[in-house]
Structure 1
Amino acid sequence: MIIGQVFERFVEESPVSVMVRGLLKTILCPQKLDELFEKSAKTQYTKELLFSTVVEMMNTVTCGIRPSIHAAYQVQ
C-alpha cells in the first residue's frame, strides 16, 4: 500500500515529527477540547463557534496556513 510506504519513510527519516503529530492529534481532539471548555467555563458560553473551532483556527494561523484569524474564519 502506497500510504503505508510513505508513512514508513516519515517514521524512518523524521520520527519526532510523527510522534508530535500523533500527540497533537490526541491532545487537540475536538470532543476533548469542547468537553474541557464545558467543564471549566464559568461565564463563557457557546453561541456560534465551538471552542474546538477557535483552537483549530488559531492553529492554522500559528502554523502559517492562514495569514490571519479573519482569513481562517472566512474558510470555516
Structure 2
Amino acid sequence: MYVRPVARGSGLSRKLLATIIEEVGTTLRSLRLCVVSSNQAAIRLYKSMGFEEWAVEVEALKVDDGYHDELLMRLEIGPR
C-alpha cells in the first residue's frame, strides 16, 4: 500500500487497511504483508490493527547501493 506524502497523517491508510480486513472477513485464515523495517510509521499502523511480526527477510530489497530488511507480518482472522 502506498499513500502519497500529501495524504499521510489523514487516516487514509487506516481506512484502507480496515476496508481490506472487512472485505476478506473470515474467508482467509490470515492476512499477510511485508514492510521495510525502517518504515516505523507503517509498522505502528499495522501493529495497531492487530498485525504481528512473524519473520524478517534480511536484505530483501536493494535500493541503489543499499540493502533493506523487510518484516513479514500477519493478522490471524479466520478459523485454523
Larger Rg belongs to: 1
TM-score (norm 1): 0.28
Q: Which has the higher contact order (CA 8 A, sep 6+)?
A: 2
TM-score (norm 2): 0.28
